[in-house]
Structure 1
């Protein structure tokens, strides 16, 4: 859906983006991750021509973006900013209706679509007459997302969309983001400097530094097959948490005992094989089960293991991967 081919951007003597190339298949979420000044936002803005590239080519759905009018190009792309970019003198309804009005939708169609998105984003219809400064940060961010989604564009660009939110609100919106059916049909490129956010929301990650892509791959690729010391150091501080959120119970299946004898008695909990270890540990902390019933629906298998066996398999997995 999106192809960035050897794209560079110079500002005077500064190479802000230096020969960047990547492809994003349809309905994939790609995260551009890195520290401030690494070139990720400049890369994003070149995709909808808010910044013109110095060299290289960018294609969306097989069409060169430089052969299209910028205004027409942007109407087919959803764009979400960190500070939500809402017009302060417009009501919520007027903010969401900006693109439908440019596309000359009739009033009934616009109102129906806005009502649909308000419901999906858990926003009460009474907010439609409110102004942005009357809303919380989380509500404003949801309105910004609604405005980007209203015309149902195939591509969504997001520049630090949750960066201004507090941790509790951000965590809640992350969960909504992953569950929202509207986003499962989109090809998404998101910029963030938040490592946990990148690992939680991205199908693939491009880790950038000094205008270049250092490594591109799945979260597991970056964790367990880092290409150099920069990648290792970038993830070092949060490594254990990232491992727990990246490794699924299914990944450990071959390391879990098939017929473990569980000593003592007590209640157990059901765990899906697709659950990551972080979610499993959270449930175990709250429910304090005596054992875990792990179900693999796809392969129609089941195992009953102790918590100790699960953690032992986790450390064995790390050892096999060379990251004990």
Structure 2
């Protein structure tokens, strides 16, 4: 869906982005991860032509974005900012309806879509006529997301979308983000400096430093097959928690004992990560958990069996 080919951006003698290449598949969530000044936000802004590259090409769905008018391009791409970018003198409804107005939607179509998104994002209809400063940070961010999604664009760009939120609000929005069906149908590039967020939300991660991509791969690739010492050092302080978020039950499937479904136990899909599984054991009070895979395959495990499989998996990765 998105191809960045040999792209650079120079500001005078400073190479903000230095000859990077990557691709994003349809309906994939790619995270651009790195410290401040590594070039990730500049890269994002080049994809919707808020910044023009010094060299290289960017393609969306096979078309070179340089051949499109910038305003037309931006109307076909959802864009979410860290500070939500809402207009303070517009109501919630007016903020969300900006793009539909630019696209000349009729009032009925706009109203229907607005109501649909507010319901999906757990926003009461009572908020339609209030102004952004009357909302909490989490509510403002949901409005910013609704505005980006309202025209149903195939591509969504997100620049530190949850960076201004407190930890509790951010954790809740992460859960909503992963569950929202609208987002599962999008091709997403998200910028963050939060390693935990990248591992929780990303299908793949591009770890950047000094304008270059140091390694691109799945969260598990970065943890268990780091390209160099920089990658190891970048992740080492949070490694155990990252492992719990990167490894999913499906990765451990062959290491888990066979078992049949039992009554009155929690059931999780095999796509669940270890962190969420451990939370089920701890906070849901489950003594056993049933895992379902492909509808026909079922295993029931206790905590000790999960941790045994986790350790076997880690040992296996270490020796490959």
Same fold judged by TM-score > 0.5? yes
Counterpart for residue 282 of structure 1: 279
Counterpart for residue 34 of structure 1: 34
Counterpart for residue 45 of structure 1: 45
**Map 1:1-324 → 2, pairs under 5 A:** 1-258=1-258, 269-290=266-287, 292-298=288-294, 300-322=296-318
Cα offsets for 1:92-139 (capped at 9, x unmatched): 111111111111111121111111111111111111111111110001
Paired residues in the alignment total 317
- What is the DSSP-based 3-state SS (H/G/I as helix, E as strand, rest coil) of the residue aligned with 1:238? helix
TM value normalised by structure 2:
0.94
Change in CA separation of 1:92 and 1:296 when aligned onto 2, cut-off 3 Å: closer
Counterparts of 1:168 and 1:241, CA distance in 2: 17
User: 1:237 Cα shift?
Assistant: 1.1
- What is the DSSP-based 3-state SS (H/G/I as helix, E as strand, rest coil) of the residue aligned with 1:322? helix
Please list every run of 5 or more consecutive structure 1 residues that lacks an aligned counterpart in the other structure: 260-266
- What is the DSSP-based 3-state SS (H/G/I as helix, E as strand, rest coil) of the residue aligned with 2:46? helix
Counterparts of 1:64 and 1:50, CA distance in 2: 15
Change in CA separation of 1:89 and 1:288 when aligned onto 2, cut-off 3 Å: closer
Counterparts of 2:82 and 2:105, CA distance in 1: 27
User: 1:59 Cα shift?
Assistant: 0.7
Counterparts of 2:118 and 2:97, CA distance in 1: 12
Change in CA separation of 1:19 and 1:92 when aligned onto 2, cut-off 3 Å: same
TM value normalised by structure 1:
0.92
User: 1:304 Cα shift?
Assistant: 4.4
Counterparts of 1:287 and 1:84, CA distance in 2: 34
- What is the DSSP-based 3-state SS (H/G/I as helix, E as strand, rest coil) of the residue aligned with 1:242? helix
CA-based RMSD:
2.0
The worse-fitting range, judged by mean Cα deviation, of 134-143 and 106-115 is 106-115
Counterparts of 1:299 and 1:122, CA distance in 2: 30
Change in CA separation of 1:288 and 1:69 when aligned onto 2, cut-off 3 Å: closer
Counterpart for residue 264 of structure 1: none
Cα offsets for 1:223-268 (capped at 9, x unmatched): 1111111111111111111111221223223333448xxxxxxx86
Instruction: Kindly indicate whether the alpha-carbon contact (under 8 Å) linking 1:86 and 1:95 is maintained by their aligned counterparts in 2.
Output: yes
Please list every run of 5 or more consecutive structure 2 residues that lacks an aligned counterpart in the other structure: none
Change in CA separation of 1:114 and 1:296 when aligned onto 2, cut-off 3 Å: closer
